[in-house]
A and B are shown apart, each in its own frame.
Chain A
Amino acid sequence: MNPVDKRRRDFLGQAAVAAGAMIAPGVFLYDYAKAAAPATPPAGPPATSGPVSAKVRWGMLIDTTKCASGCRECVDACNRENGLPGTTRPTDSQWIRKVDLKDLRSGATLSAPVMCQHCAEPPCVDVCPTGASFKRADGIVLVDRHTCIGCRYCMMACPYKARSFVHEPTTGQKTEVPRGKGCVEACTLCVQRVDRGGRPACAESCEAAGHGAILFGDLNDPQSEISKRIRSVATTQLRADLRTDNGVRYQGL
């Protein structure tokens, strides 16, 4: 064997050892994190919250088989909760869209809400020039509108068209949900509710309307309802090929 070949093989040997070492502690850490997650969330809304931690990862599971075509309950609830006008000109903000799909061959139809998918690897965060687009430790992807300059790169980068730009002066904002002209905004997973122990307005209203198509919960907690469902039924992430690892998952697509 010539010396070049030999060095190459040595390197391969080392690489194999390194990979093995990484997998073993990796597996260990994974199990440990799961064991450490609290089995049941503390009862009642917390008086104070934060700082948020990476022990939880908030997500939603949308069951398209329960989502009714033409129903806009979640969209309306989102608008009410977040003080959005709910008007539908091309330039108006939209945090949730109802999307209707039809398979042309079979004629099967499907309806589902699409909002910010709260990616683990969010492209909007990668491209943001000011750091305004960011992911909170608990997985919620947000725009810090104090640093947003309204350049809209994030809107271009988002594979889900989830973000809106505010084109006109805003009125009637709610205390918990400030919003204003010149900034990009999107679904916040209702942080103002989640931090107080609640769940997003869309999930709540969908259940109240008798559909129960939106399940909210902690993807890191193996005992949570959402984790159990994801273990037991086939779910998809939209555009999984992009490997953005979405926090919002779909069942029945």
Chain B
Amino acid sequence: MAAFRLAARAAAALLAAALALAAGPVAVAAGPKLDAPRSGPCVEDPKLMRRSHMEFLKHDRDDTVRRGVRPAKHSLAGCVSCHASRADDSVLGSDTHFCQGCHVYAAVKLDCFECHTPKARPAAVASAAGEPLR
């Protein structure tokens, strides 16, 4: 498990480097192609998010579930509401979908969506329901 973690971290570091390159004007072949976010900016600097989103999520998960802090800055529902595909409102489904795409690329299993819905509410419905688009 520890070895796996280490490998995953190495992968993350490599990936971050690859993505940083991809951000430049020259498109690099390596790296996943992901759905563009619906709105912005991200809850943290994207560079930091690439490396540390799992830690933010875990921290804020405990804040919300155990201490009732809502909405948490790094809410999982929040990630989904911004990063869901415009085509089908989901962060999963294909290798261009935001969470799945990168996780397949990095070979990191993502089990959150066995319970959490991978779907954002369609933008129109969300605002009609008076929900803030986080």
- Residues of chain A having any CB pair with chain B under 8 Å: 48-52, 134, 136-138, 142, 144-146, 169-170, 172-176, 178-181, 183, 191-192, 195-196
Contacts and interface: CB of A to CB of B under 8 A. Distances in A.
26 contacts: A48-B69, A48-B70, A50-B63, A50-B67, A50-B68, A50-B69, A50-B70, A51-B63, A51-B69, A52-B68, A136-B67, A137-B67, A146-B61, A169-B114, A170-B114, A173-B115, A173-B116, A174-B117, A175-B80, A178-B115, A179-B115, A180-B114, A181-B114, A183-B115, A192-B70, A195-B68
B89 to A, nearest CB: 11
Contacts of A175: 77, 80, 117, 119-121
Contacts of B68: 49-52, 136, 138, 191, 195
Given A144-B66, A175-B80, A175-B119, 11 more contacts: A48-B70, A50-B67, A51-B68, A51-B69, A136-B67, A146-B61, A169-B114, A175-B120, A181-B114, A195-B68, A195-B70
A196 B65 CA distance: 14
A33 B114 CA distance: 42
B46 interface: no
Nearest to A173: B117
Interface of B: 61, 63-71, 77, 80, 114-117, 119-121
How would you classify the secondary structure of chain A's contact residues: helix, strand, loop or mixed?
loop
A170 B116 CA distance: 10
Contacts of B69: 48-51
Nearest to B71: A48
Contacts of A179: 115
A138 B66 CA distance: 11
B116 A178 contact: yes
Nearest to B116: A178
Nearest to B131: A175
Contact of B67 (A52, A178, A181, A196): A52
Q: For B70, B77, B80, which residue has the most chain A Cβ atoms within 10 angstroms? A: B70
Contacts of A176: 77
Contacts of A191: 68
A169 B119 CA distance: 17
B73 to A, nearest CB: 10
Contacts of A181: 114
A196 B132 CA distance: 12
Closest 8 CB pairs of A and B: A180-B115, A50-B69, A52-B68, A50-B68, A178-B115, A51-B67, A178-B116, A180-B114
Nearest to B61: A146
B87 to A, nearest CB: 19
